[in-house]
Amino acid sequence: VNAGRKAVIRLLKDSIGATASADWTPLKASEPEINYTPAKQLRLSAGTSFKEAEPAADSFEKFLKPYGGIITEFTGDRDVPDELYITYQPSTGRYYKRDIVNKKKKWISSDFFPWDKATPGVDYLEITGKDECVPMAFKTGLLTPGYLAGAVNINTTLRGAAKEQGEKKQTPLAFCFAMGKTNQIIGAGALVEEYYFGSSLCRGPKGEYFQDPGGNVYRYSLVFRGEDGAFNRFFKEYDAVLRHADHVYAVQMNPDKAGLLKLDTSRPVMLHGQRMMVESLKYALPLRKGRPCQVKLRSLKLLQPYDLDKEQELVPMTPQQATWKVFTYFDRDMELRVQELREQ
């Protein structure tokens, strides 16, 4: 809340990357006492209780391992090609496995894997969303979010004999992007009239990045993994700070009243040339130099050594390069043997 009593929402990544609002070095009343905190890593997850929202593994890396990382992304609203074994459909965020003998496919996982790099020897900071992940699917040819928890107002009340019986069904919190109206060609080239379209992903029915009428392209999805996932778009800066900074500086300050009123805690302050986030500030009125404020700051400067490319790697899928062909020599061998017997 700013001085005008107006709530201002700022993303954590924007706060970390923002320019400093003030230089507090001249306000010091003591030298800072530094407390080096242990490194941490982020683990991100959300609810997956809806049907076909559950992932097949605790992380995308664990899911890839049995398949050697070979998963082929296929676009379009067509069915999974017969020659592909493990596939990913970006419009629905679904993974399929194909039986190489009978060619039947089956769903094996959603794309709602928790973000967990499992760096050895590093403690976790877990952030778990209270919302439910919403799976996408093609129903009657249309791409549709699968919110399978009933209507919002599904409350029934029975009254009789001075007794009241009520049945209330919970409607879990869930989010989708409202993408406005769209149309889609399905079936034998039939054009569907415009309909209101929403998705938990940033892709349209054919797997293309969704673009609104203003020309804005959606590049973020309500999943955690991947280039468009929540970690890469919103949390990687915070994860880097947790791993290689976030040390606590306890220092006494002599700020004036005007400075406190203008303080923007969503932006860093400078101390000895370093950007710091304000964790807490304790003071008593009236302010005077003999009664300094007790201030705690969190460091943002990453301390070497570190390798964020490895620590925050977005593990890619490798497209399938070979196909399975099943055949038998039995019928041919039998024909040759029958022919030999006839010739004898």
Q: How confident is the model at residue 226 (pLDDT cuts 50, 70, 90)?
A: very high
Tell me the pLDDT tens digit for each residue of 277-321: 999 999 888 777 778 999 999 999 999 999 999 999 999 999 998
Residue 204 confidence (pLDDT) = 86
For 305, counting Cβ atoms within 10 Å of its Cβ (0-12 exposed, 13-18 middle, 19+ buried), the class is exposed
Tell me the pLDDT tens digit for each residue of 257-268: 888 888 888 999
Q: Provide the residue count of the chain.
A: 344
Tokens of 150: 């009933």
Contact of 146 with 134, CB cutoff 8 Å: yes
Question: How far apart, in whole angstroms, are the C-alpha atoms of residue 241 and residue 59?
Answer: 22
Residue 3 predicted with pLDDT over 60: no
Which is more confidently placed, 164 or 101?
A: 101
Residue 153 confidence (pLDDT) = 40
Q: What residues contact residue 165 under an 8 Å CB cut-off, 6+ apart?
A: 157, 158
Beta-carbon count within 10 A of 310 CB: 9
Contact of 200 with 137, CB cutoff 8 Å: no
Q: How confident is the model at residue 157 (pLDDT cuts 50, 70, 90)?
A: very low
Residue 152 confidence (pLDDT) = 47
Contact of 52 with 110, CB cutoff 8 Å: yes
Q: What are phi and psi of 183, to 5 degrees?
A: -130, 165
Residue 97 confidence (pLDDT) = 94
Beta-carbon count within 10 A of 31 CB: 10
Residue 340 confidence (pLDDT) = 80
Contact of 202 with 221, CB cutoff 8 Å: yes
Q: What residues contact residue 171 under an 8 Å CB cut-off, 6+ apart?
A: 149, 150, 151, 152, 154
- In the predicted model, what is the mean pLDDT of the chain? 86
Residue 2 predicted with pLDDT over 60: no
Ordered alpha helix ranges (H), the chain: 12-17, 60-64, 230, 236-244, 257-261, 308-311, 330-343
Question: How far apart, in whole angstroms, are the C-alpha atoms of residue 138 and residue 77?
Answer: 8
Question: How far apart, in whole angstroms, are the C-alpha atoms of residue 60 and residue 314?
Answer: 10
Residue 104 confidence (pLDDT) = 87
pTM across the whole model: 0.82
Tokens of 241: 């700070």
Instruction: Calculate mean pLDDT across residues 173-186.
Output: 77
Residue position matching structure tokens 């006492």: 33
Residue 258 confidence (pLDDT) = 81
- Residue 138 pairs in a beta bridge with 143
Q: How confident is the model at residue 155 (pLDDT cuts 50, 70, 90)?
A: very low
Tell me the pLDDT tens digit for each residue of 94-150: 999 988 778 888 999 999 999 999 999 999 999 999 999 999 998 877 888 988 655
Q: What are phi and psi of 288, to 5 degrees?
A: -155, 165
Residue 247 confidence (pLDDT) = 96
Tokens of 247: 């040390």
* Residue 90 Cα distances to 18, 54, 71, 95, 335, angstroms: 33, 16, 12, 9, 47
3-state secondary structure of 126: strand
Q: What residues contact residue 22 under an 8 Å CB cut-off, 6+ apart?
A: 259, 262, 263, 269, 270
Which residue from 88, 120, 83 is spatially nearest to 107, judged by alpha carbons? 88
